[in-house]
Amino acid sequence: MGVILKNNTSSLLVGSVSAGATSVVVTTGAGAGFPSPGASDYFYATLISSTGLYEIVKCTARVNDVLTIVRAQEGTVAIPFPDGSRIELRVTAQSVLDAIADGVALKDQASEISIADAGGYYTGTNVEAALQELRAVSLNTFTGDGTTVAYTITATYGLENLTSVHINGVYQHKATYSLSGTTLTFSEAPPLNTIIEVLVR
């Protein structure tokens, strides 16, 4: 998943933190307000002393009220913090950059995810192909002969809501036809020499 962002999370530190410490303890019960990173997850937090000194850290694990941290992130320096200092989960420059990178990685990954057939609504074999297919528009044109009610269209997802039918430029309400597979059937045959346009999205 990568970087984790969360709003309005903070606590006081319990006990002093040396410049070389790799874990911090927050107020009893306050740890539940912080994320619990998985194996490849993390979040950025800021340690703040009562005098305003601060350090950005990366939290890679949490067990109850104990946070495992990597010190001196984003150009800050590892410094000692006294008991009662604050820790806040803030949005930092690197957290934004990481979130953007994670989004790009998910987009790239989408083209590699295999997708099982979803009721015949699309024929693409992966997310990217399916989205491209759903964006495609197919126009089928026929000429009415006054007797034919069933017409075969070249592309369909089997859903009437994805079709738009016009006869001589006049929109036809969906109650006037039905769709089964690639067969569109009118309740009444379109008149002789009328132009039938079936738009499939």
pLDDT tens-digit series, residues 20-33? 999 999 999 999 99
pLDDT tens-digit series, residues 33-90? 999 998 889 999 999 999 999 999 999 999 999 999 999 999 999 999 999 999 999 8
Nearest by Cα to 83 from 112, 109, 47: 47
Question: What 8-state DSSP symbol labels residue 40?
Answer: T
**pLDDT for residue 99:** 85
Is residue 1 predicted with pLDDT exceeding 70?
A: no
pLDDT tens-digit series, residues 123-165? 444 555 555 555 556 789 999 999 999 999 876 555 667 788 9
- Tell me the C-alpha distance between 139 and 151, whole Å: 13
Contacts of 145 (CB under 8 A, 6+ apart): 189, 192, 193
User: Which residue, chain included where needed, has tokens 């606590």?
Assistant: 11
Q: What is the pTM of this model?
A: 0.53
